[in-house]
Amino acid sequence: IKIKITNIDIPVAFASAFEGEIIRRKDMQVEFDGSRVDCAELVQTCDASEVEDHKITVVGPEVDDMELGSKNSIAYVVKVAGKNMQPDFEPVIERKFHNYINCIEGVYHTGQRDMQRIRISIDAFNAGFKIKHIGEVLYASVKNEFDAVVDKCEVVIYTDPAECTRVRHEVAIPIFDKRDERLDTLTDESVDVYYSCILCQAFSPSHVCVVTPERLGLCGAVSWLDAKATHQLDPNGPCQVITKERPIDENLGSYEDVDEAVQKFSQGALEHVTLYSIMQDPMTSCGCFECICGIEPFSNGVVIANREYAGMTPLGMTFPEMASMTGGGVQTPGFMGHGKHFISSKKFMKAEGGIERIVWMPKELKEFVAERLNKTAQELYGIENFTDMIGDETVATDPEALVEYLTEKGHPALAMDPMM
Ligand code: SF4
Ligand code: ZN
């Protein structure tokens, strides 16, 4: 018999009511910021003999030793053991850290992997909140939610900057890279099933993501491997198997099986969804897309904007304006929310000609996807350095200047058929 831990031993409250709490700079005692210093969060599957249940260790300074308002390093490794545990479950458990840590009163968390950011409020600090309490929360939450696979759990939290650098670069990043590589070798054709995800129906009641190896969930956080693991961990949960035995049109990525699944999971709101088209029955969008792409008629192409981009796009719209046209679980041909990693996928808008249609992205996003996107362009079309041909806000934020830039670069979209 497994016993649920209902009382977590921390000096502040722990409840989902605190999940949306934001801690402003002036109310903050200390912060940890993976975008500035070395941080990481990691679940590691270990042998039972290597894990001492409920042991929590802090290696480095406690909050008391950190200066008020300072930016610090943090890396926590949650070691788990269990006979049903699989390394494929690690990222699914890791992704829940965000919710767990956010449920602490006076503590705020965003991001994941080595890019998380945590703030501890002055009030929480004054109540006696310490680094080790993050360990208590992670321990209790992981044991509660993943009791089917986790028998023993130990947490090591590093705040020593040199140790954080070591854990991030020598332990965490190689593991993240290996996970990404594993996914990179899978194609939609090489698997027998896809998965649905309806986690976002709480906000967008008719929204269904269809997650395939080459098309991750639009939030960017649910890969096909993650959806598969989620289904194994919780067979009646948000991710269900979608068979792909009855294709209708391989180029569009339409299947009778997929249509039946989205009809069922959207309670009849959706009838047909294609996997590879933004014009014909595109996938719906909830609200948490990392990016939106929208057609740009003057260049026969598409513009992509990411959530972090605050400026104007050549569509005459900002990201929030594009988002207002795209979200809410409805199909809007010509506009589509998607994850950042989908941009370099061979299945991105395959039905409309693929990544050759991309004519504009914010500079930061372009740099983020460059290596993978250039590789795909090389493989699909033999184009070298494709991102060089794509406009950004430094060359154009209106269609005229964009077309001029694309003409100068010889961008292939200009010679393609119009999308409308
Ligand atoms: Fe799941 Fe899609 Fe929501 Fe991501 S955006 S959590 S994949 S429903
Ligand atoms: Zn969502």
Q: How big is the chain, counted in residues?
A: 420
Q: What is the reported pLDDT for 416?
A: 96
Q: What is the reported pLDDT for 54?
A: 97
At 327, the pLDDT band (50, 70, 90 cuts) reads confident
Treating both helix axes as pointing N-terminal to C-terminal, what angle do 173-184 and 224-233 enclose, rounded to 10 degrees? 100
At 57, the pLDDT band (50, 70, 90 cuts) reads very high
Average pLDDT, the chain: 95
Q: What is the reported pLDDT for 346?
A: 97
Euclidean distance between CA atoms 284 and 302, whole angstroms: 17
Give CATH 3.30.1650.10 domain extents, the chain. Answer: 16-182
Give CATH 3.40.1470.10 domain extents, the chain. Answer: 193-415
At 3, the pLDDT band (50, 70, 90 cuts) reads low
The DSSP element (H or E) to which 364 belongs, if any, is helix 363-381
Site to substitute for ligand 1 among 95, 200, 341, most atoms within 8 A of C-beta: 200
Average pLDDT over residues 395-405: 97
| Structure letter (DSSP) for residue 308 | T
| 209 ligand 1 Cβ < 6 A | yes
Convert the pLDDT of each residue in 169-221 to its tens digit. 999 999 999 988 888 899 999 999 999 999 889 888 899 999 999 999 999 98
Q: What is the reported pLDDT for 287?
A: 86
| 286 ligand 1 Cβ < 6 A | yes
* Helices (H) then strands (E): counts for the chain: 10, 17
Average pLDDT over residues 359-367: 97
Phi-psi region of 310 (alpha: psi -120 to 50; beta: other; left: phi over 0): alpha
Euclidean distance between CA atoms 111 and 34, whole angstroms: 9
Euclidean distance between CA atoms 76 and 280, whole angstroms: 45
| 222 ligand 1 Cβ < 6 A | yes
Does the pLDDT value for residue 2 go beyond 60? no
Whole-number Å distance, alpha carbon 288 to ligand 2 midpoint, is: 4
Whole-number Å distance, alpha carbon 286 to ligand 1 midpoint, is: 8
Convert the pLDDT of each residue in 5-42 to its tens digit. 778 999 999 999 998 899 999 999 999 999 899 999 99
Q: What is the reported pLDDT for 403?
A: 98
Q: Which residue has the tokens 């703030």?
A: 119
Q: What is the reported pLDDT for 221?
A: 86
Q: Alpha carbon of 406 to those of 319, 392, 395, 400, 401: distances in Å?
A: 22, 11, 10, 10, 9
pTM, 2 dp = 0.85
Does the pLDDT value for residue 376 go beyond 70? yes
Euclidean distance between CA atoms 47 and 52, whole angstroms: 10
At 111, the pLDDT band (50, 70, 90 cuts) reads confident
CATH class for domain 16-182?
alpha beta
Closest C-alpha to ligand 1, atom 7:
217
Domain 193-415 listed as CATH 3.30.360.10: no
Q: What is the reported pLDDT for 328?
A: 82
Q: What is the reported pLDDT for 282?
A: 96
Average pLDDT over residues 328-351: 94
CB atoms within 10 A of CB 98: 17
Q: What is the reported pLDDT for 1?
A: 52
Average pLDDT over residues 153-158: 98
Q: What is the reported pLDDT for 279?
A: 96
Average pLDDT over residues 238-257: 97
